[in-house]
A and B are shown apart, each in its own frame.
Chain A
């Protein structure tokens, strides 16, 4: 009998699950609705959208799907959105997942975690909660989320989770509107003694991707709500400042901060160490994980609208088999596969399709981002 760190177990399970052709992880996107309206979000709908609300899958159905996934071998379930706590049946679903023997992780902005919610989390603790913050200051957060007092609302939720000893990790997405504020944003994590990570690459709105694909051939583009995407050089400059600040705070070398802290993506933290030879995905998507979006379609990941399989019609098992087969037919990008920047690049079937309209073409923005990350610690 071994009591081992979960990451170690998960990596071993991932390799075994891949060989067996079964999923280990499921990501449930409960709703696209969110009480924040972040300018760069790829999916959000207004919290009060009755149209979006009407189309959401019931908690009963999600639980039935979770049970089916559990019976196939799924261990990890991620609940996300939009803002998952807006989902009408959230607590019914959340509590039910714990009775199925699943390890539950949550992505949230934490702003809806009041005392009552914290008390519920205290009775059934999630494995981890990833909280997205978008500004170090109230002003920056409001500018990004378009909601007054959003920063304090999120931090209050974080503090309530920490008070009941739920593991919390803070994340941010770096954009022009908040890149001046990253050190202050990091300090919210540092002062609480919790891990912090960032994402420096943003994609167009998922539901507009097929419309915009093929037209994103500039390094600075208008996305969604007319917001210009930061250039790779701007992102590099902002992250260098942040890295130095983090190094100063922690006493670590900037290289260690970059390698082990800042650019650790969620997938990497979960330990995607397996080599997936049969699909062009280097992450778990379509290999040992699937995403079910708020409309009930199973896709490889949250960035993709295709390949998609209706779980209400097929069930989880059949949808997974079809997804797995479909992923094996997605063509590779030969130049990306052989590129010496591959280990710092976000190029993947999802992002290539978003950026170029093709699975097989690299995109200059992705190439430039990979290059700046390679040399970010000089």
Chain B
């Protein structure tokens, strides 16, 4: 599982934004505002990753149980999918 190319994660004044770059702006002309944990997951997905990789990234960063963390991971993946940000 991997993010499509053509997006840049930027930290601006303490907020995390996903900005389309280059040709991607043709079909994706908006910004995505991520939480801090969302930014952690985004960085993992910039390379090929499994849900377990995302789970481990959250647990490394936050004091959270497996069930909660996996729930957050699956919600995040679902939202990326709805926005069309994941590679087929």
Contacts and interface: CB of A to CB of B under 8 A. Distances in A.
Contacts of B19: 75, 101-103
Given A6-B30, A9-B31, A24 B13 contact: yes
Interface residues of B, number: 26
Contact of B33 (A4, A101, A122, A127): A4
A354 interface: no
B34 A1 contact: yes
A250 to B, nearest CB: 26
Contact of A9 (B23, B33, B83): B33
Contacts of B71: none
Q: Is the interface of B mostly helix, strand, loop or mixed?
A: mixed
Given A3-B32, A9-B33, A101-B10, A16 B15 contact: yes
Interface string B1-44: 00000001011111101010111011001111111001000000
Nearest to A21: B13
A19 B15 CA distance: 13
B32 A1 contact: yes
Contact of A73 (B12, B26, B29): B12
Interface centre among B11, B13, B25, B30 (most CB of A within 10 A): B13
A2 interface: yes
Given A1-B38, A6-B30, A9-B31, A98 B21 contact: yes
B31 A99 contact: no
A103 B31 CA distance: 9
Nearest to A18: B13
Contacts of A19: 13
A123 B83 CA distance: 20
Contacts of B34: 1-2
B33 A99 contact: no
Contact of A100 (B11, B21, B25, B83): B21
Interface in B56-88: 76, 79-80, 83
A13 B12 contact: yes
A20 interface: yes
Contacts of B10: 75, 101
Contacts of A4: 33
Given A3-B32, A9-B17, A75 B22 contact: no
B33 A1 contact: yes
B88 to A, nearest CB: 20
A99 B22 contact: yes
Contact of A101 (B8, B13, B23, B29): B8
Nearest to A101: B8
Contact of A3 (B22, B26, B83): B83
Interface residues of A, number: 27
Interface of B: 8, 10-15, 17, 19, 21-23, 25-26, 29-35, 38, 76, 79-80, 83
Contacts of B26: 122-125
B33 A2 contact: yes
A17 interface: yes
A99 B10 CA distance: 13
A6 B31 contact: yes
A124 B23 contact: yes
A103 to B, nearest CB: 7
13 contacts: A1-B38, A4-B33, A9-B15, A13-B13, A17-B12, A17-B13, A19-B13, A22-B13, A75-B10, A75-B17, A101-B10, A124-B26, A125-B29
A124 B14 contact: no
A252 interface: no
Given A22-B13, A73-B13, A75-B10, A123 B23 contact: yes
Nearest to A4: B33
Interface centre among B14, B76, B79 (most CB of A within 10 A): B14
A260 interface: no
A102 B76 CA distance: 25
A1 B33 CA distance: 6
